Chains A and B, each alone.
Chain A
Amino acid sequence: MSEEYLHSVTLDKDLCKGCTNCISHCPTEAIRVRDGKAMIISNRCIDCGQCIRTCPSHAKKAVSDPLDMLNKYTFKVALPAPSFYAQFKNVPIDTVLTALKKIGFDDVYEVASAAEIASIATAELLEKVKSPRPMISSSCPAVVRLIQVRFPSLIEHVIKIQTPMEIAARIVKNQIYPDKRGLGVFFISPCPAKVTSVRVPLGNEKSEVDGVIAQKDIYPALRKIIKTIDKPEHLSKASSLGIRWGHSDGESEAVNSKKSISVDGIDHVIRVLEQIESEDFHHIEFIEAMACPGGCVGGTLTVENPFIARSRLKRYSMACENRGIKDSDQLTEFDISWTKEIYSHPVLKLSENMSEAIKMMDEIEKIDAELPGLDCGSCGAPTCHSLAEDIVTGKAQKTDCIFILRDEIKKVAGQMAELERRMPQTRNFDKR
């Protein structure tokens, strides 16, 4: 099941110094440094943005759609993520939405409104459906892909509800503008994971989003326009329930299950998923899991410092009314469940043949025992163990380890000294 990945996260080779900072931070061990440059092993990458955060040379990038993609459509609708509101200091949501209309969009639909629908649908699921607990939110695509790669046994815990982004796009296309010609729907994204989930959808054959614009790409122009607006249109409809999805805790507060936890930051998410796997958490009903620290406000395509953005978004959402939607059918005329199952991505598998794989594993352990165990990264692999794996799978060699190489050189140097001593003593070169 090797799905061709069309990733958003990429490397700018010219900027990469080959420093190996990123490799140890990658949660799926998807990066190696080869010939002085990092490379991403495509089918392992989950687009979490961790390498973007940790690269000191800013060589890791997230590729989203260019702004001029708007020109391909005659009627454009912007779908701002809730996190977008937090990028602007003391700017009312109505003003942000009005500015989007002035910059070239014909209409806006708040993803926060769709998040309200998702909250209620999730609460209904928790009440009615007896699937394995805890149920894990599927709103962060990086987390869902992490589960596919590293926690396949938890796939049945993942909530099969469309993301607020997809729900929003469907509302625009099916309900608000069903017959509109030239309609293009654009998500204003905090992260590369959402870009990828439009190209390679999760839980759908096809995404209804036509383009994904990075928040940081549209920010500068929008800032300028915002300064010129003194009478904004009244466009904001979303309530606190949906707006708070943009920061950590927000989704679980909106879902309002007494037995829920929220976890943010990919390392913390991994720890929690490990514990779910060992059935430590079966007393918990719902888990909000976000790859970025602080939730989506911490996404790598945002502008504002995540901690400032989070407290700002909390303030903005508290100032909003709760619309009091009680029933998820109230707002959508269509089913918001997934239309396609997701499967595990067993990219870590060594061989299709289990006996062969066990043999390889034995070999890996043997080599790993000979490596220094420093996980220093100089070989270009994230850990000594992963170098051992690369050696056994034919992608690296033992002397890629600088300590092994040093020992080998010492050995060869010793042999050369020994040979030199054995030179025929027929002539005394010193007393010429």
Chain B
Amino acid sequence: MQLNFSIPGDDMDLAGIASSTLKKKLQQIGVDNSVIKRTVVALYEAEINMVIHGGGGDITINVTPTEIQCELVDHGPGIADVNLAMQEGYSTATDAIREMGFGAGMGLPNIQRNSDHMEIHTVPGEGTTVKIMIKIG
């Protein structure tokens, strides 16, 4: 099963659409609730990052009976120091974003914690690709 989403960078209302759509489909195919929960949290964080830091982008999700793979591609500013960005509490979010309740610097660590495998490919000035893999069963 494959799902594709194109999320614009200027519409916070749309951020979250991929994770909530995927949630329903995973329920329908009978994936375990705890796996669904981890997937939703990880994908949601990545989706929010793609919108608030990456200026929007494309999401491709593939589901097989053994795993869920999500790939989020944006053409935003990229991440200069990935190790630093992965640290809990590190955030470059502006005050305006913080006022909206985002930017606690927990997103990337949360993705790490909730997924079985995560990869970040980023080139400053060109964009970021985040890959998340979660095992089923």
Contact of A349 among B28, B40, B110 (CB under 8 A): B28
Interface size class of A (residues with CB under 8 A): 20 to 34
List B contacts of A365 (CB < 8 A): 1, 3
A362 at the interface (CB under 8 A from B): yes
Tell me if B27 and A349 are in contact (CB < 8 A): yes
List A contacts of B34 (CB < 8 A): 153
A90 at the interface (CB under 8 A from B): no
A252 to chain B, nearest CB (A): 20
Tell me which residues from 194 to 244 in chain A have a Cβ below 8 Å from any Cβ of chain B. Answer: none
| Residue of B23, B27, B110 contacting most chain A CB atoms (<10 Å) | B27
Tell me if A357 and B20 are in contact (CB < 8 A): no
B33 at the interface (CB under 8 A from A): yes
B63 at the interface (CB under 8 A from A): yes
Tell me which residues from 347 to 384 in chain A have a Cβ below 8 Å from any Cβ of chain B. Answer: 348-352, 354-355, 357-358, 361-362, 365
List B contacts of A150 (CB < 8 A): 27
Tell me if B37 and A277 are in contact (CB < 8 A): yes
List A contacts of B118 (CB < 8 A): none
Known: A153-B37, A355-B65, A358-B64. A278 touches B19 (CB 8 A): yes
Tell me if B40 and A348 are in contact (CB < 8 A): no
> Measured between alpha carbons, how far is A33 from B28 in the docked complex, in Å?
22
Contact of B136 among A277, A278, A346, A354 (CB under 8 A): A354
Tell me if B28 and A348 are in contact (CB < 8 A): yes
> Measured between alpha carbons, how far is A155 from B25 in the docked complex, in Å?
19
Tell me which residues from 28 to 67 in chain B have a Cβ below 8 Å from any Cβ of chain A. Answer: 28-31, 33-34, 36-37, 40-41, 44, 63-65
Tell me if A277 and B33 are in contact (CB < 8 A): no
Tell me if B65 and A278 are in contact (CB < 8 A): no
Known: A277-B40, A358-B65. A352 touches B30 (CB 8 A): yes
Contact of B1 among A280, A348, A361 (CB under 8 A): A361
A274 at the interface (CB under 8 A from B): yes
A260 at the interface (CB under 8 A from B): no
Tell me if B16 and A274 are in contact (CB < 8 A): yes
A359 to chain B, nearest CB (A): 9
Contact of A358 among B1, B19, B24, B37 (CB under 8 A): B1
Contact of B101 among A152, A280, A348, A355 (CB under 8 A): A280
List A contacts of B19 (CB < 8 A): 278
List A contacts of B20 (CB < 8 A): 274, 277-278
Tell me which residues from 112 to 156 in chain A have a Cβ below 8 Å from any Cβ of chain B. Answer: 150, 152-153, 155
Q: Report the interface size for chain B: residues with CB under 8 A from the other chain.
A: 26
Known: A278-B16, A348-B24. A357 touches B41 (CB 8 A): no
B33 to chain A, nearest CB (A): 5
Contact of B44 among A279, A344, A352 (CB under 8 A): A279
List B contacts of A346 (CB < 8 A): 27, 30
A388 to chain B, nearest CB (A): 12
List B contacts of A280 (CB < 8 A): 44, 101
> Measured between alpha carbons, how far is A267 from B23 in the docked complex, in Å?
18
Known: A280-B101, A348-B24. A358 touches B63 (CB 8 A): yes
List A contacts of B36 (CB < 8 A): 152-153
A383 to chain B, nearest CB (A): 12
Tell me if A354 and B65 are in contact (CB < 8 A): yes
Interface string of B8-29 (1 = CB under 8 A from A): 0000000010011001110111
Tell me if A350 and B40 are in contact (CB < 8 A): no
> Measured between alpha carbons, how far is A279 from B63 in the docked complex, in Å?
22
> Measured between alpha carbons, how far is A154 from B68 in the docked complex, in Å?
21
List A contacts of B64 (CB < 8 A): 358
> Measured between alpha carbons, how far is A153 from B27 in the docked complex, in Å?
10
List B contacts of A362 (CB < 8 A): 1
List B contacts of A152 (CB < 8 A): 27, 33, 36
B66's nearest neighbour on chain A, judged by CB, is A354
**Contacts A278-B16, A355-B65 known; 19 new A-B pairs at CB < 8 A:** A150-B27, A277-B37, A277-B40, A278-B19, A278-B40, A278-B41, A279-B41, A344-B33, A346-B30, A348-B27, A349-B29, A351-B29, A354-B30, A354-B65, A354-B136, A357-B29, A361-B29, A365-B3, A389-B28
The 8 A-B pairs with the shortest beta carbon distances in the complex, nearest first, are A278-B44, A357-B29, A153-B37, A153-B33, A349-B30, A152-B33, A354-B65, A355-B65
Name 16 A/B residue pairs within 8 A (Cβ), A-sorted.
A153-B34, A277-B20, A277-B23, A344-B33, A348-B28, A349-B27, A349-B29, A350-B29, A350-B30, A352-B30, A354-B65, A357-B29, A358-B1, A358-B29, A358-B65, A361-B28
